[in-house]
Structure 1
Amino acid sequence: MNKFHSEITKRQQRLLEELKKCDDELSGQDLHRQLYKSDNAMGLTTVYRNLQVLVKQGLVRSRHLPTGEVLYAPVERDIHHLTCVNCGETTRLNSCPVKPINLPNKKSKDFELLFHTLEFFGLCQNCIKPDNA
């Protein structure tokens, strides 16, 4: 843990466990629904507030979609996507294009790297094709 990590609460731990169960990303509403189905229900505002704490602690990464929706994943899951700005279609990349880049040491005197995000936005093949109408 970095120096900003404090003990996480039981609610934060539940959110982290739910995120780790999923093999991709979840929205705050998805997490809220999953917890509601279990014995670990919590309010939607509480879910989002605790997700923000987990992001600030470097335990969860967030990805902002063109629609304004935010998706969350555990920080150790280094996943990146191509996202169509027209229809919202998302394609997961097979590997992290940033790994080969010479990034700063995870810890230095001036900066402690918690995680990185890399987002690609464009048009998918369906949106590029002209309408046949």
Structure 2
Amino acid sequence: MRAIRTRSQDRILNLLKNIKQGISAQDLYIELRNHSQSMGLATVYRSLEALKLEGKVQVRTLANGEALYSLTQQDKHHLTCLQCGLSIPIHQCPVHQLENELKSSHKFKVFYHTLEFFGLCSQCQEISQGIGDR
């Protein structure tokens, strides 16, 4: 059974369909305003939360604390640099089998999962090594 959605939730879903990457709630708010679909920032947050609980939207929190929202389509895996913020997607899923086992053993409905490794990208490692050589 489909949940009853508000117009605000439908507008957010439609906008997210056209955005191919994660977007912050504040940027989503600006995009809606730019498309003459203005709504309050609090409404954007409430709508995103409702869509997340429905399994339609997923959220990814970056190392700096910023939350990025996108449609729930596929599992997301990244290598994230703590120094420059570079985020490198990992295309293979190393935990897919574990997810299936947990769904079965715990009778848990999984909407999506994320896996993120934090460290330094190669460029930031070179910069750090260069500083240490002085």
Give the TM-score range, shorter chain: 0.7 to 0.9
CA distance in 2, matches of 1:15, 1:54: 9
Secondary structure of the 1:103 match is helix
Residue from 43, 46, 53 that aligns with 2:43: 46
CA distance in 1, matches of 2:61, 2:16: 16
Residue from 52, 67, 72 that aligns with 1:70: 67
Contact 1:59 1:75 survives alignment (8 Å): yes
Give the deviation of 1:102 after TM superposition: 5.8
Contact 1:19 1:73 survives alignment (8 Å): yes
After superposition, give the CA deviation of every residue in 1:59-90 in whole Å (9 maximum; x if it has no partner).
11100111110001111143332211122111
Which residue of structure 1 lines up, in the alignment, with residue 19 of structure 2?
22
Q: Mapping of 1:1-133 within 5 angstroms?
A: 6-99=3-96, 101=98, 103-104=100-101, 110-129=107-126, 130-131=129-130
Q: Which runs of 5+ in 1 are unaligned?
A: none
Contact 2:74 2:112 survives alignment (8 Å): no
Name the TM-score, length of structure 1 as normaliser: 0.82
Q: Which runs of 5+ in 2 are unaligned?
A: none
Contact 1:85 1:123 survives alignment (8 Å): yes
After superposition, give the CA deviation of every residue in 1:43-66 in whole Å (9 maximum; x if it has no partner).
222111211111111111100111
- Runs (4 or more) in structure 1 with deviation over 6 Å come to none
Q: Percent identity?
A: 41
Give the deviation of 1:15 after TM superposition: 0.8
Name the TM-score, length of structure 2 as normaliser: 0.82
After superposition, give the CA deviation of every residue in 1:13-34 in whole Å (9 maximum; x if it has no partner).
1111111111111111111111
> CA-atom RMSD, angstroms?
2.4
